[in-house]
């Protein structure tokens, strides 16, 4: 049986490290054509070379989600490369580590512009090509913080919650066009997300959270994520025992509130 991803063109944002890099590594084992995007063009090329991707199987396309007004032009460039986009994996984003009362409103705004507006803009720019091609799949890497909130994540949670509202609505609108929507909600995964997270004044935290360090290995996560994409799941929470928060949010929200206000989240 053919691999679900064989012969598809897959566009991955945030491909220069963490989850994005792990996805590229796994997809290299298929015959998929891969578009690698992030702000770090040289790092993307190093990853492609390290993995051993054949030149005709990948392209590097620099992208900054903050530059959301330029997404139509970037999507047009992506189409020029392989002629189609079968799967768009919206993986790029930014996290936060600061108390709400100590977070400058400009930081909240920046998180919304990068994590929400940038992702929505890229999706909207890509959709016309998918619809013209008869369908496709949009994958959104949200977070458990897109389902429930936790201390030190207020701006990040706000942006991720917004993604769920938008893409749930988009799923209903695009059903007739055969465009699927899959929302992935990672828990604690061993990446540099906490190191790169912004603090209340907009500066980078620069340190690894203990919870992140002890999280699921990123290669294990990537395989589970690709399995969820292949199964065309509407939404999938992937991680350790922290994913139980999704169940508690739905059925026992008061319990979850007590747990989260006492939990070690960094």
What is the residue-level pLDDT of the chain in tens, covering all 266 positions?
A: 369 999 999 999 999 999 999 999 999 999 999 999 999 999 999 999 999 999 999 999 999 999 999 999 999 999 999 999 999 999 999 999 999 999 999 999 999 999 999 999 999 999 999 999 999 999 999 999 999 999 999 999 999 999 999 999 999 999 999 999 999 999 999 999 999 999 999 999 999 999 999 999 999 999 999 999 999 999 999 999 999 999 999 999 999 999 998 877 76
In a domain? residue 1: no
Between the CA of residue 176 and those of 13, 120, 136, 183, what are the distances in Å? 26, 20, 12, 19
- Residues 245 and 256: beta-carbon distance below 8 Å: yes
Q: What 3-state class would DSSP assign to 190?
A: coil
In a domain? residue 245: yes
For residue 266, the model assigns a pLDDT of 67
Residue 138 to residue 167: CA distance in whole angstroms: 9
Domain CATH number, residue 73: 3.40.50.720
In a domain? residue 3: no
Enter the tokens of residue 129: 């090509």
Residue 57 to residue 35: CA distance in whole angstroms: 9
In a domain? residue 95: yes
Residue 169 to residue 219: CA distance in whole angstroms: 31
Residue 176 to residue 262: CA distance in whole angstroms: 45
For residue 1, the model assigns a pLDDT of 35
In a domain? residue 4: no
- Residues 153 and 112: beta-carbon distance below 8 Å: no
210 DSSP 8-state letter: H
In a domain? residue 104: yes
In a domain? residue 206: yes
Enter the tokens of residue 25: 């590594």
CA atoms within 13 Å, Cβ hemisphere of 193: 29
In a domain? residue 116: yes
For residue 263, the model assigns a pLDDT of 78
Q: How far is CA 155 from the centre of its chain?
A: 16
Residues ≥6 apart with Cβ < 8 Å to 238: 184, 185, 186, 187, 216, 221, 224, 225, 228
Dihedral, 239, 135, 60, 64 alpha carbons, nearest 10: -70
How many domains does the chain contain in total? 1
Catalytic option among 58, 68, 116, 156: 156
**Structural domain of residue 224, as residue ranges?**
9-262
Is residue 156 annotated as part of the catalytic site, yes or no? yes
Other beta carbons within 10 Å of 250 = 11
Other beta carbons within 10 Å of 164 = 17
Nearest one of 6, 5, 15, 64 to 35, comparing CA atoms? 15
Residue 64 to residue 66: CA distance in whole angstroms: 5
Residue 180 to residue 176: CA distance in whole angstroms: 10
């Amino acid at each position: 049986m053919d691999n679900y991803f064989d012969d598809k063109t897959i566009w991955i944002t945030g491909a220069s490290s963490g989850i994005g890099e792990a996805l590229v590594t796994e997809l290299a084992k298929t015959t998929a054509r891969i578009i690698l995007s992030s702000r770090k063009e040289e790092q993307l090329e190093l990853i492609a070379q390290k993995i051993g991707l054949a030149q005709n199987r990948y392209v590097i396309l620099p992208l900054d989600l903050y530059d959301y007004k330029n997404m139509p032009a970037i999507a047009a460039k992506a189409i020029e490369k392989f002629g189609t986009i079968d799967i768009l994996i919206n993986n790029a984003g930014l996290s936060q580590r600061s108390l709400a009362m100590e977070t400058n409103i400009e930081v909240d705004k920046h998180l919304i512009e990068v994590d929400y507006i940038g992702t929505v803009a890229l999706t909207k720019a890509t959709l016309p090509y998918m619809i013209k091609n008869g369908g496709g799949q949009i994958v959104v890497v949200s977070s458990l913080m897109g389902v429930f909130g936790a201390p030190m994540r207020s701006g990040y949670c706000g942006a991720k919650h917004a993604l769920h509202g938008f893409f749930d609505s988009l799923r209903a609108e695009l059903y007739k066009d055969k465009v699927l929507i899959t929302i992935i909600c990672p828990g604690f995964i061993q990446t540099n997300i906490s190191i790169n997270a912004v603090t209340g004044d907009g500066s980078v935290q620069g340190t690894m959270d203990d919870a992140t360090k002890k999280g699921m290995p990123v290669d294990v996560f990537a395989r589970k994520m690709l399995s969820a994409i292949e199964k065309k799941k509407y939404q999938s929470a992937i991680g350790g025992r922290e994913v139980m928060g999704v169940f508690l949010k739905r059925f026992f929200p008061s319990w979850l509130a007590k747990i989260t206000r006492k939990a070690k989240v960094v």
